[in-house]
């Protein structure tokens, strides 16, 4: 094998070479594309406004050595092993609003904006919660009261509450590996996958009007990204402004964010509400702190209504049963889905904002712990990486809330 002389240089392959709208989600490209969405898709900013930046005091510790107890499915292991084995781009843990760990890998850094995928849903849900708290949006009212354009679609008769908790009766496949599934048809319709498109690029709103019902609304939970897209449309109609402007006004300008967020859009400038928001690790942690602090931001402002936080944590009398009755196995026995958040356990001590390819906010109000992890899994869904990550944050929350004596 020939050796490289000191004068020679090894050519560096541009990680962006060959990345386009048809392959940006392929395993070989996601690490780069999730950190450079604005070079692949149309985006618009969500302004942080001109308010103060929320400080993030640090007491950095090595949490990697924290041990995750064994389960019937896995041996005991360390938090570090989970971080190293799950394509982590960056992760952070805060306890009592103080940063205990903050790490970046590869080209990811504190100022890098990373795609959140479906963690975006929890931000959209919080905007809806603010509108509910202001009396502008009533979860019990039919969706078509706000968006009459959906009157001839399968959403006729569905309420805002149904889409907040993903309990409509809409026919919608969330199979990310099936190019014919509705979740992939959305991407074709909004121009996120051009060469593979088999239908015209009609845009987000028009696509939603084509969806049909398969069962009565208000039944079992079934995870469907289209629910959040409809919710975003409802919010825009209620407020009379784009989600970019609305989220800035009600949320992003009030949490002490360091940077503007970005939202990827369709060809008409409509946001991809179910999975298109991009932000930094630090600002995502600032958002997560709202739900650990009863809606109060790190700047001390009541951003999300206390009543909305309480509703999110408690759900309705049938919320957990609806989750249990849902099709498929969510592997969260006794859990629930409420207001665009996941509750993996029979209690509400910890809950999650989740996005495919390994995006997560972990919130444990009882321990006052917030964990954030941004990742680049090769597969959209991977239980061998998701559940160890949840258990890792559980172990950290227990360790920092009940530290061992010196």
Cβ count near 17 (within 10 Å)? 7
Tell me the C-alpha distance between 286 and 383, whole Å. Answer: 27
DSSP secondary-structure letter at 53? P
Tell me the C-alpha distance between 158 and 215, whole Å. Answer: 11
Q: Which of 86, 118, 168, 248 is catalytic?
A: 118
Crossing angle of helices 281-292 and 306-314, rounded to 10°: 80
Cβ count near 55 (within 10 Å)? 10
Angle at 383 between CA 380 and CA 388, to 5 degrees: 120
- Whether 120 and 128 have beta carbons less than 8 Å apart is answered as no
> Which residues have C-beta within 8 Å of that of residue 365, sequence separation ≥ 6?
291, 292, 294, 313, 349
- Pick from 189, 261, 201: nearest CA to 225: 189
Angle at 258 between CA 372 and CA 274, to 5 degrees: 55
Residue 5 bears catalytic tag: no
Give me the active site residues, please.
118
């Amino acid at each position: 094998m020939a050796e490289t002389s000191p004068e020679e240089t090894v050519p560096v392959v541009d990680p962006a070479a060959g990345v386009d709208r048809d392959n940006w989600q392929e395993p070989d490209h996601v690490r780069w594309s999730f950190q450079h969405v604005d070079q692949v898709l149309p985006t618009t900013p969500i302004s942080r406004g001109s308010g103060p930046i929320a400080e993030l005091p640090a007491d950095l510790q090595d949490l990697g050595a924290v041990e995750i107890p064994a389960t019937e499915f896995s041996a005991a292991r360390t938090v570090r092993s989970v971080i190293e084995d799950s394509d982590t781009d960056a992760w952070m843990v805060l306890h009592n609003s103080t940063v205990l760990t903050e790490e970046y890998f590869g080209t990811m850094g504190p100022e890098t904006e990373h795609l959140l995928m479906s963690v975006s849903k929890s931000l959209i849900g919080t905007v809806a919660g603010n509108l509910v708290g202001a009396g502008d949006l009533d979860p019990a009212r039919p969706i078509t009261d706000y968006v009459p354009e959906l009157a001839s679609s399968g959403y006729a008769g569905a309420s805002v509450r149904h889409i907040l908790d993903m309990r409509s009766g809409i026919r919608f496949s969330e199979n990310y590996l099936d190019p014919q599934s509705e979740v992939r048809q959305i991407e074709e319709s909004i121009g996120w996958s051009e060469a593979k498109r088999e239908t015209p690029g009609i845009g987000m709103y028009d696509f939603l009007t084509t969806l049909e019902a398969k069962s009565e609304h208000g039944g079992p939970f079934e995870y469907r990204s289209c629910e959040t897209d409809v919710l975003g449309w409802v919010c825009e109609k209620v407020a009379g402004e784009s989600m970019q402007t609305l989220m800035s006004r009600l949320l992003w300008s009030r949490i002490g964010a360091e940077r503007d967020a970005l939202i990827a859009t369709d060809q008409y400038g409509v946001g991809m509400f179910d999975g298109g928001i991009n932000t930094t690790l630090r600002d995502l942690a600032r958002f997560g702190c709202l739900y650990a602090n009863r809606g109060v931001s790190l700047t001390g402002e009541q951003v999300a209504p206390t009543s909305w936080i309480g509703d999110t944590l408690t759900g309705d009398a049938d919320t957990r049963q609806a989750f249990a009755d849902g099709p498929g196995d969510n592997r969260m026995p006794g859990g629930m889905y409420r207001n665009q958040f996941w509750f993996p356990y029979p209690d509400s001590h910890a809950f999650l904002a989740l996005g495919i390819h390994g995006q997560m906010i972990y919130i444990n109000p009882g321990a006052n712990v917030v964990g954030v992890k941004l990742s680049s899994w090769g597969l959209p869904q991977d239980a061998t990486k998701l559940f160890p990550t949840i258990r890792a944050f559980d172990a950290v929350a227990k360790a920092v809330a009940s530290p061992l004596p010196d």
